[in-house]
């Protein structure tokens, strides 16, 4: 069952990417500017409207075109010159690393650590 569920997630992911691709081709928007999460939210909100429609009907095709227009309209903001350096945010603690099993490891006096008497 886990394999089936993972396969289903891959299928749905690829279907959403296909809708994004269709929307970008139809409305001339860069595929990299369309939000995946925004597209997923649009699909979730539209699922009730598609639930009662017959596949291939005229109304179904109209709803699909509206869906593609909404997907193309949900663009990510342009962020030229954006830099996101990879850094460690939190400072290391003044304790040594646990490199031996706990029952063997003994506390080695650390130069920056104050001892309470």
Q: Residues 6 or more apart from 24 whose CB is under 8 A from it? A: 30, 31, 34, 72
Q: Does 110 have pLDDT greater than 60?
A: no
pLDDT for res 104:
75
Indicate the pTM of the whole model. Answer: 0.64
The predicted-structure confidence for 37-73, as pLDDT tens digits, reads as follows 999 999 999 888 888 888 888 888 888 899 999 999 9
Q: Does 16 have pLDDT greater than 90?
A: yes
| Distance from C-alpha of 33 to C-alpha of 74, rounded to nearest angstrom | 8
For the chain, state the CA radius of gyration: 26
Q: Residues 6 or more apart from 116 whose CB is under 8 A from it? A: none
Instruction: Return mean pLDDT, the chain.
Output: 84
């Amino acid at each position: 069952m886990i394999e089936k569920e993972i396969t289903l997630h891959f299928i749905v992911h690829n279907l959403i990417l296909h809708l994004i691709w269709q929307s970008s081709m139809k409305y001339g928007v860069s595929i990299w500017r369309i939000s995946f999460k925004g597209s997923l939210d649009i699909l979730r909100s539209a699922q009730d409207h598609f639930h009662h429609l017959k596949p291939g009907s005229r109304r179904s095709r109209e709803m699909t075109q509206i869906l593609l227009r909404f997907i193309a309209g949900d663009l990510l903001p342009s962020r030229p010159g954006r830099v996101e350096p990879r850094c460690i945010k939190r400072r290391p603690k003044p304790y040594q690393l646990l490199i031996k099993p706990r029952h063997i490891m003994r506390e080695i006096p650390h130069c920056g650590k104050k001892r309470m008497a």
